[in-house]
Structure 1
């Protein structure tokens, strides 16, 4: 009689398909629950892996979101640092510039963002993770670093500003917005962004 090998117990070990399994679980949870309500521990449970494995493949929740939902190497921490690196009176324009740079990132950044915006018009569930991610990890983080107690509100207002512009420019294709240069947008929208993220109300 041949002994049958016992089935290994415990969570899935790291392997060639582990990263893909984590990504699939993360994409499902982000798409159904939004960004804020999903934790790395919940993703690990859904993927049946040890939570430490997620940190082996991704630097954190925002990195995992960017590489699964956005499918872009979008470093939220770097975007925040870049926006805050210059003079305080230029943080607003710098934040707008960072958004436009991410939107036009090599490898189909614009196409990916635009596709998500198009889907969001018909399916609200697609929009929620993107807006939550941007308001919390990018714009809200900038306002929080500047010491504003209402950073969550400021972050969401900032998201409404940039996503409204993106919708109008790339989907509705309003002629003036479509033809204007990025630099003009940075300066014009930067004034509003400065008020939202930096100035005291």
Structure 2
């Protein structure tokens, strides 16, 4: 989405609904355009607010997405740091465990992720903001910080692994996958994730 210059209007003090207006505008654009092609300036135009107001309420586009679409206190930078902070041979397992922790969070992550998964596999949905967000803000940066030049491909493969598992476990409800404890999934999927994110090809 192309940004155009807009005359600054300044902040709107006292507008209790400004944050909600920004969230509604962001949700509309993320749903209709996808994650990658939406800019904070475009969201400001949609919400009819000064772009500085977005930074007043949200630290970044990823923060706005997490609080608007996922509606979870999810900081992708913290997730990336956590996954990379520890033995290299356990990065894959930590990545899978981190995904499961967010998915099963007390704030209702499972319901929101599942709803987005159902939308993502609908035949008439072209843009998939959840998978774009996870690839660009979580798994891609992990692979990039590990020094892989093909980090975008590795990030998307990692997303396909965890979202494929979530789709099979929570929507298709494959019996063995439903019954498997998280620790077993972390062990088995962690090995596959290790190959995707860490090992040289």
Contact 1:116/1:126 (8 A) holds in 2: no
Q: Is the 8 A contact 1:117 1:127 kept in 2?
A: no
Matches within 5 A, 1:1-201: 10=9, 13-14=12-13, 15-123=15-123, 125=125, 128-201=128-201
**1:150-169 CA distances to partner (integer Å, 9 max, x unpaired)?**
11100000000000000000
Shift of 1:50: 1.6
1:119-163 per-residue CA deviation (whole Å, 9 max, x = no partner) reads 223255386100000001000010011111111100000000000
Call closer, same or farther: CA 1:40–1:52 in 2, change over 3 Å.
same
Task: Please identify, of 164-173 and 124-133, the stretch whose mean Cα deviation from structure 2 is larger.
Answer: 124-133
Structure 1 pair 69–126 and aligned structure 2 pair: CA distance change class (3 A): farther
* d(CA) in 1 for partners of 2:130, 2:65: 9
Unaligned runs of 5+ in 1: 1-8
Question: What CA RMSD, in Å, does the superposition of the two structures yield over aligned residues?
Answer: 1.5
Question: Distance between the aligned counterparts of 1:172 and 1:196, measured in 2?
Answer: 24
Query: Which has the greater radius of gyration?
Result: 1
Report the TM-score, using the length of structure 2 for normalisation: 0.91
Counterpart contact for 2:141–2:151, Cα < 8 Å: yes
Structure 1 segments, 4+ long, off by >6 Å, are none
Give the gaps of 5 or more residues in structure 2: 1-7
Residue 113 of structure 1, CA deviation? 0.9
**Number of aligned residue pairs:** 193
